[in-house]
Structure 1
Amino acid sequence: MADSLNPPLSYEASATTTHPHIATTLPSEVVACLKNARFLHLATCDGLTPHISLMSYTYLPSTPFDPYPTIIMTTNPASRKTNHLLSNPQVSLLVHDWVSHRPPTRGPNPCGDRDGSPPPAATRSSLASLLLNLNTSALSSISTTITGTARFLEPGSEEEAWCKERHLENNTFEEEMNMFGQQAQSPNQRRPSISIEGDARVVTVRVREGRIADWKGGVRDWTLVLDGSEHNNDQEERARPHLANGISP
């Protein structure tokens, strides 16, 4: 029974749909990524040139305006990604919750000193190697991509105001400490990549389908399909607690 609910990742060619997982709830791996990741990568395209942006985001299991899980982002109206989204709202999102710094390579270095990354392990002090190993410890071995259609919310609308408020709440830091016990960021300081002030546009993406991948290259496709009762019961949706990134404020 468990295998049918959680089909294994496939290590076969992944050019087509692989081990599709269709359910009325998001796969647990996708929920974990969306709750734990600090940022996501937003891929847009104007039809010719792809563009990737590192984005602050807010994940909600549902909103008063949409029963589907929703990702909220904001963008400067003069940005390249905004121009891309206006001409082509189709997007891909990459979410992962592990640190991505590259460790030293094990291969020989016959050419002596070399440029590029990562530098050979021999050039690192024992302290630097220790810190690097701490920083590259994987918090998870799973990432997820999400494909969908981005939607600009109507400026001044109730939905825009509600989503902007949730996004601001979710992207305001409390005091953070780095590994040396020093304050990493001032209290209530927002993430640098969040746009809220002025005429910033609010963008939402409904989470409906995507792909789970692991660090070995295995993949599994997933699709979320809600039944009709969830679409029609607006009062129940409005009464449901809306937890930003799955965590109550």
Structure 2
Amino acid sequence: MASGAPTSPAASNQLPEEVVTCLQNARFLHLATVSNNVPHISLMNYTYLPSSPYSSTPTIIMTTPPSSRKTINLADNPLVSLLVHDWASHRPRTLSHPDRSPSPSRPGPRPGSLAELLLGMNTASVSQISTEINGVAEIVPRGSEQETWYKAQHLANNTFGPSEDTHSSSPGLWGGLGTDGNEETREGDGGTRCYVGSDEVCVVVVKIKDGKIADWKGQVRDWVVSGDQAAALPNGV
């Protein structure tokens, strides 16, 4: 198990290379918000940008309905934590649960096939770390040029071709896989335009401050983004 003991954080005006790789490889992230000491967590689609015309700092874009619990929490408290994995696994059988069945999975490549070999190589190369990210969230003003630009980047990053595995896609919830009760039917593009491109969603931009890297060996390292990123930003509501 990874230790939570603090380490001397590595400071830089850019994210650690491992964190960037993790953000580029992962499909979803866990977003943790809080209000009145009540925490809330959602599984979200996201887009990572090292910089943008509106910020020279690393940012993460998400979208959410105005009435969702996370949006309400962000209006009250813009501080957020994110958890991103670049590995995929299922819990194996244990001594206390010898009959535990692994989570059902989609059919894989035939044993001994080239696809199986490549899948194993790709899994080995990306299944390395998990990163915790702390930051300050800003709800982008509705109808602004900034909102239009961020939403276009997010839509392009979450629209997949016909060969993309639909089993790993979001099953049609606004903004990701949260439990906010705002469900939409996925059609054609997998519902992307409903939970990303819709005029009804809010655009949330997280300015990254610091975090931790935990690798598969249980080692933990702290990191911090130096410069303007560390300054708290007012919420956009």
Residue of 140, 145, 151 corresponding to 1:153: 140
Match of 1:164 in 2: 151
Change (3 A) 1:218 1:175: same
Give the whole-Å Cα distance in 2 for the aligned partners of 1:193 and 1:143. Answer: 29
Larger radius of gyration, structure 1 or 2?
A: 1
Match of 2:201 in 1: 200
* Contact 2:155 2:196 (8 Å CA) reproduced: no
For normalisation by structure 1, the TM-score amounts to 0.68
Give the whole-Å Cα distance in 2 for the aligned partners of 1:69 and 1:104. Answer: 39
Tell me the SS of whatever aligns to 1:26.
coil
In the TM superposition, residue 199 of structure 1 has moved relative to its aligned partner by 2.1
1:83 is aligned to 2:72:
yes
For normalisation by structure 2, the TM-score amounts to 0.71
In the TM superposition, residue 191 of structure 1 has moved relative to its aligned partner by 4.6
Aligned AA (2:101): P
Q: Which runs of 4+ in 1 moved over 2 A?
A: 107-110, 176-179, 185-196
Give the whole-Å Cα distance in 2 for the aligned partners of 1:193 and 1:42. Answer: 20
* Contact 1:68 1:206 (8 Å CA) reproduced: yes
Give the whole-Å Cα distance in 2 for the aligned partners of 1:153 and 1:64. Answer: 14
Match of 2:161 in 1: 174
* Contact 2:136 2:209 (8 Å CA) reproduced: no
Match of 1:48 in 2: 37
Change (3 A) 1:46 1:108: closer
CA displacement, residues 115-156 of structure 1 (integer Å, 9 cap, x when unaligned): xxx438xxx9xx99x99x989x56322111110111000111
Aligned AA (1:41): H
Give the whole-Å Cα distance in 1 for the aligned partners of 2:219 and 2:54. Answer: 35
Match of 2:54 in 1: 65
Aligned AA (1:203): V
In the TM superposition, residue 86 of structure 1 has moved relative to its aligned partner by 1.0
Match of 1:140 in 2: 127
**In percent, how many aligned pairs have the same letter?**
50
Aligned AA (1:103): P
Give the whole-Å Cα distance in 2 for the aligned partners of 1:172 and 1:109. Answer: 40
Query: What is the correspondence of 1:102-113 to structure 2 with a 5 Å cutoff?
Result: 102-105=91-94, 107=95
Match of 1:21 in 2: 10
Change (3 A) 1:108 1:73: closer
In the TM superposition, residue 214 of structure 1 has moved relative to its aligned partner by 1.4
Aligned AA (1:14): G
Structure 1: stretches of 5+ with no match in the other structure? 1-10, 180-184, 228-249
In the TM superposition, residue 192 of structure 1 has moved relative to its aligned partner by 9.2
Change (3 A) 1:192 1:156: closer
Match of 1:231 in 2: none
* Contact 1:76 1:201 (8 Å CA) reproduced: yes
In the TM superposition, residue 108 of structure 1 has moved relative to its aligned partner by 6.6
The aligned length equals: 196
Give the whole-Å Cα distance in 2 for the aligned partners of 1:223 and 1:38. Answer: 23
CA displacement, residues 227-246 of structure 1 (integer Å, 9 cap, x when unaligned): 8xxxxxxxxxxxxxxxxxxx
Of stretches 188-197 and 53-62 in structure 1, the one that deviates more from structure 2 is 188-197
